[in-house]
Amino acid sequence: MSPQLSKSLAAVLSLALIVSALPVSAKPRTTPTPSPAVAGQQNRGQAQPQVLKLTLRKAIALAIENNLAIKVAEFEPDIADARITAAEGTFDPTLNLGGGHNVTNSSIDETQAGNYYANIAGKSIWGTQYSVGITGTTARYSDYWSQSGLSLSQPLLRGFGTAVNLASLHIARNNREISEWDFKQEVINVVTETVYFYNQLYSAQRNYEAKKRSRDLALELCKEEEARAEIGVKVALDVITAQAEAASREEAVILAKNDIENNERYLKQLITCDTRTLLFTPVDIEPPPESVTGDLDVDAGVCDALKERPDYQQALVALKTRNINIVTARNSTLPRLDLVASLDLLGVNARDLAGSMRYWGNGVRNPEDWSIGAVFSVPLGNRAAKGSYKEAKLLKAQALVNLKKLEQSIMVDVAYAAGEVNTAHKRIDSTQEALRLAQESLDAGRKRHDAGKATTYEVLQLQKSMTESEASLINAQADYRKALSEYDRQTGVTLLRNAVKITH
């Protein structure tokens, strides 16, 4: 092949690679092509979709307001309130009303009678069963009868006392407290994830800019090598090496741009419940606030965790429920000894039913009847109750061990999170120094290259080293902020740190 033809082919290849490596636009992706009607409206001056401008604080506020996971968790305390109301309803009295008319036909005569009753029955928090009411009877060719009565049944052993009879209500209230901690945990998780993806997006944007600068450096060197090759100072191999590296870095730019779009979607999923906003609205974020901290006090962090972490507080409340279950199970092992009493007043009147009520307990024809006694019963063996009691005690013992295990896990989690923060902070210092040295090395390499003492490959490697150092610094800074957010979650102070108040 002639030298002239080789030079022409090299120029064509160079132009093709340069065109393919042109910078990709940094503008966010716009809405897909709309229908003709919508397109016509836009052509007539319709406003384009607004950019979602965010700070970290605004992103957290939007997440708390719109996140669907939080909206789901918001139902739990209300559901628990409904269950408390249901448990309280155990002690609501019941009003019973009834009546009927009876006709009996025989070969001798026909008998007609009406029967009516009304009473209120219920149960007290001490286990007392009560019923108070009246009954009335009317019969053809006979007197009117009415009766008022009161009956009581008071447990003295099994079923006695507020501890047993209010157990379901106390458990429902414990579950309400657990649901509140559940809700707080969900908010903490969403806030932490919002901080995480906000920093991920910011670092992705910075990484994208770094990749573009790296690509542009390769393109600039490529042009220089082509110019030198034109005048015979450089060989074609140096030009092709620069062109190949520029094309490779263009791929890195494309991947970095896709990383931005993915993190935008994750962030929007956290802060909005509007699908159109989720898919089509571009996001513009401000840099996250600088987080500066010294060495973390692990002991203080553990104390905060034991006071603020929802999972630990839930375990404490669950332990209260275990104690209630033991009380009720122990009570079930007792025999039943109930004090029973009743009082009935009878009234008879020949003219009407209402008149008979004035004679309750008055005279021979209107007697009063009362009784008092006791009922004792015990299951022989009573193994069901004894087994339940033993199970309740074992479950409490198990819960205590689990609580100790959770405390141990919290200590490790807090210490690990603190270590991640400290490590990320040290990485920032080391990567900053590495970036400074990489920049100095590149400057020196460029001078040697301009003087003909360094190859194109060496300069490209120095460029790549500087880009890698810049990416390491970006990642270290993002990891530091994310590690702080995770430390806040492990110590339970996420909401306090981000000035979030739960008013549910």
CATH number, domain with residue 360: 2.20.200
Contact present, 298 and 420 (Cβ < 8 Å) = no
On whether both 198 and 55 belong to a single domain, the answer is yes
Report the CATH number that the domain containing residue 420 is assigned in CATH: 1.20.1600.10
Identify the pLDDT of residue 112. Answer: 67
On whether both 194 and 64 belong to a single domain, the answer is yes
Angstrom distance (rounded) from CA 311 to CA 494: 14
Q: In what order do the strands lie in the sheet with 110-123?
A: 94-105, 110-123, 129-139, 144-155, 336-349, 368-377
pLDDT of residue 19 exceeding 60: no
In a domain, 45, yes or no: no
| Highest mean pLDDT: which range of 7-21, 42-56, 160-174 | 160-174
Mean pLDDT over the full length of the chain: 82
In a domain, 31, yes or no: no
Contacts of 33 (CB under 8 A, 6+ apart): 39
On whether both 174 and 153 belong to a single domain, the answer is no
In a domain, 133, yes or no: yes
On whether both 14 and 78 belong to a single domain, the answer is yes
On whether both 284 and 362 belong to a single domain, the answer is no
Range of lowest pLDDT (27-41, 53-67, 200-214, 239-253): 27-41
pLDDT in tens, 103-120: 766 666 666 677 777 889
Query: Is residue 84 classed exposed, middle or buried when 0-12, 13-18 and 19+ CB atoms within 10 A define those classes?
Result: middle
Token pair listed for 317: 């409340």
pLDDT in tens, 471-488: 999 999 999 999 999 999
In a domain, 205, yes or no: yes
On whether both 148 and 179 belong to a single domain, the answer is no
Q: What is the pTM of this model?
A: 0.78
pLDDT of residue 13 exceeding 50: no
Please count the structural domains in the chain.
Answer: 2
pLDDT in tens, 424-434: 999 999 999 99
On whether both 223 and 350 belong to a single domain, the answer is no
On whether both 264 and 314 belong to a single domain, the answer is yes
On whether both 133 and 262 belong to a single domain, the answer is no
On whether both 137 and 177 belong to a single domain, the answer is no
In a domain, 385, yes or no: no
pLDDT in tens, 372-417: 999 999 888 889 999 999 999 999 999 999 999 999 999 999 999 9
Mean pLDDT of 298-310: 95
Domain that holds residue 358: 126-158+336-377
In a domain, 105, yes or no: no
Q: b vs e for 181-194, b when ≥16 Cβ sit within 10 Å of the residue's Cβ?
A: bbbbbbbbbbbbbb
On whether both 358 and 452 belong to a single domain, the answer is no
Mean pLDDT of 203-216: 92
Contacts of 406 (CB under 8 A, 6+ apart): 311, 312, 315
The pLDDT confidence band at residue 358, using thresholds 50, 70 and 90, is: low
In a domain, 121, yes or no: no
DSSP 347-416: EEESS-HHHHHTTTT-SSSS-EEEEEEEEEE--SS-HHHHHHHHHHHHHHHHHHHHHHHHHHHHHHHHHH
In a domain, 28, yes or no: no
Query: Is residue 401 classed exposed, middle or buried when 0-12, 13-18 and 19+ CB atoms within 10 A define those classes?
Result: exposed
Identify the pLDDT of residue 2. Answer: 39
DSSP 159: T
By C-alpha distance, which of 292, 291, 277 is closest to 54? Answer: 277
Radius of gyration of the chain (CA): 41
pLDDT in tens, 227-284: 776 666 555 677 788 888 888 889 999 999 999 999 999 999 999 888 777 778 888 9
On whether both 369 and 402 belong to a single domain, the answer is no
Q: How many CA atoms lie within 13 A of 319 on its CB side?
A: 14
